[in-house]
Amino acid sequence: MLKVGFITLGCKVNIYESNALEEMLIANGYSIIEPSSACDIFIINTCSVTNTADQKSRQMVSKCHKLNPNAIVVVMGCYVQTSHNDKLDADIILGNGNKEDLLGLLQEVINKREKKINIIDIMQKKDYDNLLVSTYDHARAFVKIEDGCNQFCAYCIIPYARGPIRSKKADIVIKEINDIVANGFNEVVLSGIHTGKYNDNGTKLSDLVERILTETKLKRLRLSSIEINEIDDKLLDLLAKSDVLANHFHLPLQSGSDEILKLMNRPYDKAYFKAKVEKIRAIRPNISLTTDVIVGFPYETDKLYEESKAFIKEINFSYLHVFPYSKRNNTKAASMPQVNGLIKKMRSNDLNKFSLLLQENYYRQNLGCKEEVLFEQREGDYLVGHTSNFILVKVLTPKDYTKLIKPVLLKKYDDGMVLGELLED
C-alpha cells in the first residue's frame, strides 16, 4: 500500500479539495499519512494569492525532495495554474481545472515514471468539479459550494487561477449537509472563491441558505466570506428569523478609502458599505463583523491610509485580516506605481496592532453573556471552541464535548481568549 502525504496551502477551498482527493485515493488502495520520509508520494496543493504564497509553494517542493528523494512529487493548484512556466521539479504538475484526474495520472507515473503535465485553460472551464467530501477531521465541516471569480479586482490573481464562476447543484449541497449532520456535526461553513455569487440555475446564495435552514437539521450555519453588495434582502430576512445562521459575517473591505476602492475595482464605496452594515446591525446589534484589509496598495499615501484606518474604526469591526499588497503579474495593479516595502510593513504592523485592540474590545463587551460554544479541541485541562459570533472561548472541564454545542457563560478576558463557565454539564 503506497503511503501519501498531503501538504495543503492557502484557503478553505484548497483544504476541501485536498480532503476530497484523500478520500478518492483511500478508496483506491492508498494510505494517507503525515508528510514524512516514509511517504512514497507527496501531493502539494498550492496557493498563489501572494508572492509569499508562491515562494512557500516552491519551498514545499524542495522540502519533499529532501524528505524522500525517491518519492513521487505532485504539485497542483493555484500556483501551478498561474505560474506553470516555472520549472518545477515534480513528477506530476496538475492545474485547478481537472484535479479529479489525479488518480489516473498517479497510476500512469507509478507504471512508467514519466513526468506528466496536465493543465487546461481555466478561463474556459464551464462545469463545476465532481470533488466531494464525506468525512471531516475537525469539529466543523467546510462545504465548498462554488468555484471561480468574475470580479477581477485590480490586485487579484485568483480569477486567473480559478477561472469563471461555477456553482455546485443545490440538491447536492443539501444532501451533503444532511450527511454531515447524520455524522454528528453541528456546524457547517459554506465556502467558495466568490461565495456570494453562488447561482445554481437561478438558485442564489440566499435561496440556498433558506433551503439549508428548512431542509436540514443543522444547528449552526456560517458563511466563510461574503461581499457586502451580495447580502440581499432575503439573506437579511433569514438573519432576522433564524438563529441557526451564525451571528458573524466576514465582509472583505480591502480599503476604507473611496479613492483606493475605485482603483482596486471594488464594487462599492464607503457610503454603501456603511449603510449595509447599519442594516445588518439593526437586525443583529451584537453581530461580529470581521474583514480583510490590504495596506500599501498602489497610490495609497499616508493620508489615504489614515482615512482607511479611520473608516475601519468607524465600522468597528471585531477583527481584521491584514495583508500587505503583493504585486501579481498580469493584474491591473501590477503596472501602477508601487508603495515602498518598508512603508507597507509599517502600515501592516500598525493595523495588526489595531486589530488586536478591536478584538479585545469586542470580547470584553460580551463578558457576562450566555453564548452557545462549539467545542473544537482540547488544550490541556481546557476545551476550546467558538461562539456563534466567533469569540474564542476556553472552558475548564474534564469532559469531552468536542463537536458539541454547549451553553457557556463568558466570564473573563484572558489574553486573546475568553474564559467561560459551562452552564450545562
For the chain, give the percent of residues with pLDDT over 90: 94
> Does residue 300 register a pLDDT over 70?
yes
> Does residue 14 register a pLDDT over 70?
yes
Domain identity same for 307 and 352: yes
- Of the residues 87, 120, 153, the one at which a domain ends: 120
For residue 83, which of 115, 37, 49 has the smallest C-alpha distance? 49
Domain identity same for 104 and 166: no
pLDDT-based confidence at 113, cuts 50/70/90?
confident
Domain identity same for 276 and 376: no
pLDDT-based confidence at 189, cuts 50/70/90?
very high
Instruction: Identify the pLDDT of residue 87.
Output: 77
Say which amino acid occupies 27. A
Instruction: Identify the pLDDT of residue 67.
Output: 96
For residue 307, which of 347, 279, 360 has the smallest C-alpha distance? 347
Q: How far apart (Å, rounded) are the C-alpha atoms in residues 265 and 263?
A: 5
CA distance readout (Å), 378 to 381, 383, 398, 401: 7, 5, 10, 9
Domain identity same for 384 and 399: yes
Rg value, the chain, Cα:
22
Q: How far apart (Å, rounded) are the C-alpha atoms in residues 250 and 256?
A: 16
> Does residue 31 register a pLDDT over 80?
yes
- Of the residues 120, 136, 152, the one at which a domain ends: 120
Which region among 48-52, 82-86, 166-170, 306-310 has the lowest average model confidence (pLDDT)?
Answer: 82-86
Domain identity same for 34 and 98: yes
Contact between residue 382 and residue 418 where contact means Cβ atoms under 8 Å apart: no
> Does residue 217 register a pLDDT over 90?
yes
Q: What's the domain range around 381?
A: 370-422
Exposure pattern of 292-311 as b/e (b: 16+ CB <10 Å)?
A: ebbbbbbebeeebbebbbeb
- Of the residues 246, 280, 302, the one at which a domain ends: 246
Query: How large is the average pLDDT for residues 236-249?
Result: 98
Q: How far apart (Å, rounded) are the C-alpha atoms in residues 99 and 273?
A: 37
Instruction: Identify the pLDDT of residue 86.
Output: 65
Domain identity same for 332 and 383: no
Query: How large is the average pLDDT for residues 31-58?
Result: 95
User: How, if at all, do strands 203-204 and 199-200 pair?
Assistant: antiparallel
Domain identity same for 261 and 328: yes
Query: How large is the average pLDDT for residues 354-377?
Result: 98
Which tens digits make up the pLDDT trace of 369-384?
Answer: 999 999 999 999 999 9
**What average pLDDT does the structure give for the chain?**
96
Which tens digits make up the pLDDT trace of 84-93?
Answer: 766 789 999 9
Domain identity same for 9 and 106: yes
